[in-house]
Amino acid sequence: MKNRSMTAQSVRAVGRRGPAGIMALVAVASLAAAAPAVAAKQPRQVAEAVAQRVAGEPIMAIVSIKSQQVTFYDADGWILRAPVSTGTTGRETPAGVFAVIEKDREHRSTMYDDAWMPHMQRITWNGIALHGGPLPGYAASHGCVRMPFGFAENLFDKTYIGMRVIISPHDTVPTEFSHPSLFVPKPEAIAAVPGRADKLSIEAEEATRVADEAKKAAATAAKEAASLPAALRKLEQQKARADAELAFADKTLANARNDQARAKAEELKQKAAAKAADAATQLEAARAAAQPKRDAVAATKEAAKAAAARKTEAVKVATDAKLAGEPVSVYISRATQKLYVRRNTHKPAPDGGGEVFDTSIEVPVTIRNPEQPIGTHIFTAMAKTGTGLRWSVVTIENGDEARNALDRIAIPQDVWDRIGPTALPRSSIIISDEPLSSETNYRTEFVAVLSNEPQGGFITRKPTAPAMIASDDGWDNGFGFFYQRDPYVQQVNPRRRSQYQYYQPAQPFQRGFW
């Protein structure tokens, strides 16, 4: 009551001072009301943190848009933490699942007037990245995740291509998790990987050599047979002319009026008959010689086809054997009812920038109650244990509880048998309502964005250009496939559910040895 009395007295006092006093009071009140908003925009103190223990290799980074903070985790917990500045209104950093796909220590933006983005770690090819930059204390970027300059520099050499980056709309942390559906590797299978990969690599190289020789033999036979039609046509024309000359001689002989004319016509007929017989003999001999060449073309073509099939199978098996020594990532989409598998081949992309990811497994998957949301959960193998792997889960969209989400999925056993026994730490299984983003291509790990969160900084950028890569023998006589990304359709409203195209392979992937 005392405060109200004092306020009333102040108002009456200002009133006695007239309009000028009233205006002054309004100004003071306005400043007082604006003070909290101004304070909220003031840059906060940069507070980085380092775990007080020996840090291992980072396995994942989690960016919290809500707290404007990034945290890096190794097998035993968090190791590095720092404030960040994500995308501002209209250019929001997309929430979703990403991975580091390219690193550039001294990057200059091609999108924003050659802007300096030091220690850039790209997570999409259309321009979303983690990099050093100014931190005003609130979301202020064009969609990237700015980190403190020194933090970004110290972090740069610790990360690697393929490291998981999770951008969450809220605060979340990895939680220890176990479930029967998660990979349980077999030590003997893992131990056998190097020897098996070497053996199958040699077999694939031999199959490739045989296929190349068969292909050359088929090409040589085809080249030799290519001249047959023209040669046979020439002999057929010669025989036709000889037959015509013989018919003319017969006609001349029949029309002879005297002995001298008949004798001359008889001589002409004998010559024409000999010429016709010779032409017929040459034609029959050529036809007889042509048939084995035709048979050789057919035989070498079939042999080349069979050798190519054996090469394809040998390459497939050798590639799988070699990839078994890499962490595996699985993505299961409720939207597409499909399961996708990716592993980094560590082969430089043939068109420059980043590395090539193997995308050879894509199969249908059954999800119970597919009309019900399942959420977005990232299960990660953090480390080896005495019985297999220690797993964690990060949930960034809780459509269903993580354990229930796994329970709802019937994972093809043949796929699990193919990749589970050799699963390593850093392997992951992602379950999501979302389809893969159209930014997912042969140079990325999985890219998926939450469609019910703002994505302005993602959709306003120029999309990745469609890519075409030659198959099989297209480059380095190795791993390759034909891939063309579907066209990108921009979203109408960045704050509404996503309306752009999602990842769809243009045609089945073809694989080559790498």
Q: Give catalytic residue positions.
A: 131, 144
For residue 412, count CB atoms less than 10 angstroms from its CB and return exposed for 0-12, middle for 13-18, buried for 19 or more: middle
* Rounded Cα–Cα distance for residues 46 and 58 (Å): 22
Q: How many CA atoms lie within 13 A of 212 on its CB side?
A: 9
* Rounded Cα–Cα distance for residues 235 and 242 (Å): 10
Residue whose tokens read 């709309």: 169
- From residue 401, alpha-carbon distances to 374, 404, 431 in Å are 8, 5, 11
HEC readout, 425-453: CCCEEEEECCCCECCCCCCCCCCEECCCC
Sequence letter at residue 212: D
Residue whose tokens read 């193998």: 381
Q: Is 406 strand, coil or helix? A: helix
Q: Is 409 strand, coil or helix? A: strand
Residue 230, token pair as written in the block: 């023209």
Residue 239 contacts residue 279 (beta carbons within 8 Å): yes
Write phi, then psi, for 451 (nearest 5 degrees): -75, -15
Residue 509 contacts residue 493 (beta carbons within 8 Å): no
The residues, ordered by sequence, that sit 6+ positions from 255 with a Cβ below 8 Å of its Cβ are 265
Residue 374 contacts residue 367 (beta carbons within 8 Å): yes
According to DSSP, the β-strands at 116-122 and 129-132 are antiparallel
